[in-house]
Each structure stands twice: as structure tokens, then as C-alpha cells.
Amino acid sequence: MISFKNVKPKMPYSRKVLIVKLSALGDILHALPVLTHLRRTSPFLEIHWAVDASFAELLEGHPGGVKVVPIPLREWKRRVFSRQTWKEALDAICSLRRERYDIVIDIQGNLKSGLVTRLSGAPLRIGFDWNGVREVPNLLFTNRKARLLPDDRHVSRKYLRVASSLFEESFEPSDFFPVLSVSAGDRDAAALLVDELLKDFAIRMVVHPGTSWPTKKAPEGFWVGVIRLLREQTPAIGVLLSWGSEEERQEALEIRKMAGEGVELLPSLSLALLAAVYQKCGFVMAPDTGPLHLAAAVGAATVSVFRATDGLRNAPEGPSHRFIQVPVKCAACLRKECVRDQICRNSISSIEAAELMAGLMDAKGTGNK
């Protein structure tokens, strides 16, 4: 086994590294600080990133200079018994092995990421120790384990702990924040779209109410209350509603109907264009869902709501972000179904959320004076 334990970051040669973080949207965005850290401490590395093909566009053109390795896992899952699927999977394995990676850093920690890690053929395969791994079989596929420390509560710190173990370097606060680039074309398209939908409003905000977990959602009335409170205080605020699925679109339509004037529905957008819209508006509210973290990665200020998940683990970090954890004893339960779901939903305060967003707007000089 190759050991890089005593290798120093300033050595004048290159090593080829594969990051394995396949999904989901929010988790990939939480993992972006790994690129920042590796570029700061080890600028000689050639970095590739294995990701589900549905999220590949997020990493294309990233300022960290990463080569994207798209793997269509979602598509393969839909047609798992197809001969074509197995042929494509074999081709993908061969392609990975041809790269002759020196190092793989598995920051997903489950069975599928472990398989990609092992099939890459890399001699050094770094992953989580037993106290950080998501699925125990993953431990079979790595040969260096990074042990998490008590302070590693936030998910980005967990990923950084694994990546920093490569050269036994510490990570710094400057490494911690995700950075995602927006292309000039997407920026221009977003500006046209936002100006068309909210041409009469000087302050723009986006609300993304949808999420895949029912136990992460806030009720429609909560979002309606937040929007009304903010617009009563500052009529110059215009609100856009973003959505992903048809179910989320119907939910957004109902919120727009109840919230009244100054609220518009966004059309279906690519992830790249959605990120540009968030950046253009500058203020986003959402539950714990991928679009929340997309907004934070492009520099938007956020207020988020956490119910079944832990805000101290998942919420965007930094002075431009605030989160509310529901005031129930069983918060952060990680359950996708719960008999107390309605009680939990109704415990969230529209007034508190609106005050947090108004505070962020005031801090940036756009709120009601």
C-alpha cells in the first residue's frame, strides 16, 4: 500500500485524486469545501470527482478546477435488469481504471460509494472510520480510515476531516464555506427572468417550500404568513416561488394564491439557472433541501427551517445565514414518517422566520428603514 503520510503539500509533482461523492444535491454542495481545502493545501493534485450524472452540471467549471466523472446511477437504477445497463456499468469501471488514480477519497460512506472507490483500482482509498460511515459495508472498500472528532458535528466538517487526513493537514475556517460559480450566460438569463417577473419590486426574495421528506416540510400557511409579514413591513419586497417536482409546483401555486400580490411562480429551471436566480435575488428561504444549499453556495443570504434534521449539522454556515429548529423535544429525529408530524409542523413560527429574514435584509441595507 502506498503511504502519503509524510508527503508535504509543496512537493513539485502531481498525484491524481478521485473524490467520490455521488449524491444527493445538498450533500454534494456540503462537500464543495473539500475542493477548497485540497486546492489550498495540495495545489499539485489533479482532482477528479465521481458524481451522479444528474448533478454533474453543478461541478462543471467549478473554480476549484475539477474534472467531473459523471456516473448515471439513477438511470441505471430505473433499468437495472437491462443488458445495456450492465454494459454501461462495465464501461464506466474500465474508464475509471484507465485513469490510474493514486488516491480515492470517499466522503459518502455507503455501499455504492464504496464499490466505486474499490473498483477504481486506486492503491490508497481513504474513507470514514466506523464512527462516521453511513453503511458498515463501506469499511471493506477503504484502506485508510479517518476518525471524526467531537467537534465535527456539521456535515462539511465531517467531509473535511476525511479529506484533510490525506496529508494530515488541519482545515481552516476559510475552507469551510461552499463556493459555486455561476456562468455569465446563466447570470444574464437569470437577470432577465427576475426583472420580467418582479419588475415593480426593488427587493427580491425566493421561497422554495418543497422537499422530498414530508417531515422536513413546513405547512403552506407558514410560508404564506412569512411572505405577508415581510411584505406588510416592506412593500418593496417581491417574492418568487421555486419548485422541482409537479407536486412542489402545485404547492407553490397554492401559496401564491393565498399570499396575494407581489408573489410569482418561477418556471421549470435547470440547476445552473436556478442557482443564478438565487444569486440574482440574494435572499432565499427554504426547509432543509438541496435548493437551500444551492442558494448558500452562490452567495445568497438564507433563512431555513429544520424539523426532522439537525440545523447544527446541516444548515448553511456564516453571518448571512439563519435557521430555525422546531421547538419540540423530538426535533432532528431523522424520521421520514412520524405520527407527531402535524404537531411538529404547527410549532414553527412565521413571525420568527420573518424577523430573521428582515434582519438579514437590514444588515445588507435592503430592508425597511
- Dump pLDDT digits (tens) for 71-84: 999 999 999 999 99
DSSP for 269-306, please give it.
--HHHHHHHHHHH-EEEEESSHHHHHHHHTT-EEEEEE
Residue 214: DSSP 8-state:
G
pLDDT surpassing 50 at residue 272: yes
What's the topology of domain 184-363?
Rossmann fold (3.40.50)
Distance CA 111, CA 23 (A): 13
Low-confidence winner among 61-70, 112-121, 256-265 (lowest mean pLDDT): 61-70
Residue 367: pLDDT band with limits 50, 70, 90:
low
Name the percent of the chain in helix, strand, coil, to the closest 5.
45, 15, 40
Distance CA 250, CA 230 (A): 23
Summarize pLDDT for 87-110 with one digit per residue, the tens.
999 999 999 999 999 999 999 999
Residue 25: Cβ within 10 Å count: 20
Distance CA 26, CA 289 (A): 6
Residue 13: pLDDT band with limits 50, 70, 90:
very low
* pTM for this model (two decimals): 0.92
Start-end ranges of CATH 3.40.50.2000 in the chain? Answer: 16-175, 184-363
Q: Looking at residues 117-125, what average pLDDT do you find?
A: 97
pLDDT surpassing 70 at residue 14: no
Q: Looking at residues 102-127, what average pLDDT do you find?
A: 97
3-state SS record for 133-162: CCCHHHHHHCCEEECCCCCCCCHHHHHHHH
Summarize pLDDT for 141-197 with one digit per residue, the tens.
999 999 999 999 999 999 999 999 998 878 887 777 888 989 999 999 999 999 999
Rounded to 5°, the CA angle 276-229-302 comes to: 30
The SS3 assignment for 166 reads coil
Looking at the domain covering 16-175, what would its CATH class be? Answer: alpha beta
